[in-house]
Copies of this chain bind each other. A is one copy, B any other.
């Protein structure tokens, strides 16, 4: 059955709220995001917004999921499965950084300190791991193409099975050692971006682009790509 007029109106207003909230997020950041201000700019009274989002945190959760999805889509688009593994890796990393630089407040919402008291609901997980899935696929494809050195088997039992599935699936060249390196490289990607965005590199790195490229190539080397 097609959506009723009411449902369409509701979806439209919900979208207006999230759009305005996202705009406000881009200017004042997550902690400055005010439900009342969104309502004001929308010509509504604050209590009316609660018809659409039960609380400010729910609105933030919506923005978080949207952010993860936007970033994930960016990463997926940047991955060219026909390219060489190391180049795929670098391209995805660059795309992630580009999105982060273009949406700093949204990035901070995703990868900065968790907001006040709340913890990410379960429904953020699928969106949150999309970047990781892309990177995992790069790793797995490289393994299946025989472009990964043999596994050493030094580290075992630190990675969950579900994650192992994402990180390339089953292959002789993939063991927990190389998977752990994958997780390290994953977190290092965001560590480098966070340091750049949050100002920890200020005064230390003079050519941020060149530094990032070199760093990501180092990480690719660590993975054997």
Contact = CB atoms under 8 A, between A and B. Distances in A.
A183 interface: yes
Given A31-B115, A195-B187, A200-B187, A210 B155 contact: yes
A201 B222 contact: no
How many monomers of this protein are in the complex? 2
Contacts of A98: none
Contacts of A186: 195
Contact of A214 (B29, B31, B158, B162): B158
Contacts of A28: 116-117
Interface string A171-208: 00000010011011011111110110011110111110
A199 to B, nearest CB: 7
Contacts of A117: 28-29, 32
A175 to B, nearest CB: 12
A41 interface: no
7 A-B pairs with the lowest CB-CB distances in the bound complex, closest first: A191-B191, A112-B113, A188-B188, A108-B113, A163-B204, A187-B195, A184-B215
